[in-house]
């Protein structure tokens, strides 16, 4: 095969891959601005003739419209569920950073017996299937009246995100030069002081990476939220999924909900994309 043909095939393949990735998202975006009869048609409308924000109002449960009563009933309180998801993910993220930084530091730097066993057990938690965790904790949390509370969800999300956070930060800390830390110790700083003054500033990019990934994972999480929330702490993904099959799927509002739900992870991508690889792979590839 000549070089020119090869180059043509390469470009064609990339264009096809790009189309496969982007088209579904673009279609969701376009649909979210359509009026109902432009959605329910066998001849797709590619440019909405009269772009509307009605779907967004319905998706957030704002529009109380006789026409689409079933939709607003299904999405009632969706705005609140969005806030709940942001709060849950936000609190979890802060806690993960606060807990994982010292733990990652200790695992990377302090050489005591049992260190590698502790490290491997932390990583082990990354592997556990959510169902195995959810079943006994559901019974336990019910007895403790924690079902449908933010505390339950945050505890579960800490369990699922701490392992990767600790391991990622550990990997980053392991690559920092140790001399600065030791200089701080010579100056008489305590471990916590040293962590705060010396390690955290240098580690900032890694901390940001861990934070954004944690936030996106928790904001998007579905399985645990489906089981552990009902009404008072219903999250946005569960609310969105519940809109399906309430008397015919309301495509417009659902695509609008999809676009709204896209915002936090998209911000994640913008802030932390340089570090996503390391974070997501637990530093398994070096």
Partner 1 sequence: MTLRLTRRRDPRTFWLLTSPTLVILLVVGVYPLVASLWMALNRSQVTGPSRFVGFDNFARLAADPRFWNAIINSLAFATLALSLELVFGLAVALALRRSGRETWLVPVFMLPMLISPVVAAVTWLMLYHPTIGLINYVLRPLIGTPAWLANSSLALPSLVVVDIWEWTPFVFLLLRAAYLGASVEIEEAARVDGAGRIALFRHILLPQLAPAIGAVLLIRGIDVLKVFDTIYVMTGGGPGLSTETLGIYIYRAAFEDFNVGYAAALSYVQFALVIVLGLLFIRRVGRTQQ
Dihedrals φ, ψ of 253, to 5°? -60, -35
DSSP the chain: --HHHHHHHHHHHHHHHHHHHHHHHHHHHHHTTS-HHHHS-SS--SS-SS--SHHHHHHTT----STTHHHHHHTTTHHHHHHHHHHHHHHHHHHHHHHHHHHHHHHHH---TTHHHHHHHHHHHHHS-HHHHHHHHHHHHHHTT-TTSHHHHHHHHHHHHHHHHHHHHHHHHHTS-SHHHHHHHHTT--HHHHIIIIIHHHHHHHHHHHHHHHHHHHHH--HHHHHH-SSTT--HHHHHHHTTTSSS--HHHHHHHHHHHHHHHHHHHHHHGGGHHHHHHTT---
The distance of closest approach from Cβ of residue 74 to partner 1 in the complex, given in angstroms and rounded to an integer, is 13
Q: Is 89 in the site for partner 1 (CB under 8 A)?
A: no
Pick the closer one to partner 1 by CB: 66 or 237.
237
Q: Which is nearer to partner 1, 106 or 206 (CB)?
A: 106
CB of 80 or CB of 222, closer to partner 1: 222
Nearest to 219 by CA among 206, 238, 205: 238
48 lies in the binding site for partner 1 (CB under 8 A): no
Q: Which of 48, 62, 80, 109 binds partner 1 (CB under 8 A)?
A: 109
When asked if residue 254 is in the footprint of partner 1 (CB under 8 A), the reply is yes
| Min separation Cβ 233 and partner 1, Å | 17
Closest approach of partner 1 to the CB of residue 67, in Å: 19
Stretch that binds partner 1, among 47-55, 105-113, 143-151, 200-208 (CB under 8 A): 105-113
Task: Tell me the window of 47-55, 65-73, 165-173, 203-211 that interacts with partner 1 (CB under 8 A).
Answer: 165-173
Q: Which DSSP state fits 275?
A: G
Binding flag, residue 200, partner 1 (CB under 8 A): no
Instruction: Decide: is 223 part of the binding site for partner 1 (CB under 8 A).
Output: yes
Binding residues with partner 1: total (CB under 8 A):
108
d(CA 103, CA 107): 6
Site for partner 1 in 125-144 (CB under 8 A): 125-140
Q: Is 153 near partner 1 (CB under 8 A)?
A: no
Determine, following the binding rule CB under 8 A, whether residue 70 of this chain makes contact with partner 1: no
- Choose which of 36, 159, 196, 200 interacts with partner 1 (CB under 8 A): 159
Select from 50-58, 66-74, 120-128, 196-204 the region that touches partner 1 (CB under 8 A).
Answer: 120-128
Q: Is 8 in the site for partner 1 (CB under 8 A)?
A: no
Q: Is 69 in the site for partner 1 (CB under 8 A)?
A: no
């Amino acid at each position: 095969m000549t070089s020119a043909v090869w180059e043509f095939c390469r470009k064609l393949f990339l264009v096809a891959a790009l189309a496969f990735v982007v088209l579904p998202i673009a279609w969701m975006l376009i649909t979210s601005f359509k009026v109902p009869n432009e959605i329910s048609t066998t001849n797709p409308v590619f440019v909405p003739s009269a772009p509307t924000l009605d779907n967004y109002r319905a998706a957030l449960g704002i529009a109380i419209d006789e026409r689409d009563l079933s939709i607003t009933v299904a999405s009632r309180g969706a705005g609140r569920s969005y806030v709940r998801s942001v709060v849950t993910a936000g609190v979890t993220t802060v806690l993960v950073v606060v807990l994982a930084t010292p733990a990652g530091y200790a695992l990377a730097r302090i050489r005591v017996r049992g260190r590698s066993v502790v490290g491997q057990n932390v990583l082990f938690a990354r592997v556990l299937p959510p169902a195995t965790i959810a079943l006994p904790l559901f019974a336990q949390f019910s007895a403790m009246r924690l079902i449908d509370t933010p505390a339950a969800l945050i505890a579960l999300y800490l369990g699922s995100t701490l392992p990767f956070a600790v391991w990622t930060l550990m990997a980053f800390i392991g690559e920092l030069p140790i001399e600065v830390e030791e200089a701080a110790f010579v100056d008489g700083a305590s471990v916590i002081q040293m962590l705060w003054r010396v390690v955290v500033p240098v580690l900032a990019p890694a901390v940001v990476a861990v934070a954004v990934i944690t936030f996106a994972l928790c904001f998007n999480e579905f399985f645990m939220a489906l089981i552990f929330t009902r009404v008072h702490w219903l999250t946005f993904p569960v609310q969105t999924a519940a809109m399906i099959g309430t008397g015919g799927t309301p495509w417009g509002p659902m695509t609008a909900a999809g676009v709204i739900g896209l915002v936090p992870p998209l911000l994640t991508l913008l802030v932390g994309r340089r570090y996503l690889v390391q974070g997501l792979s637990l530093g398994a590839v070096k």
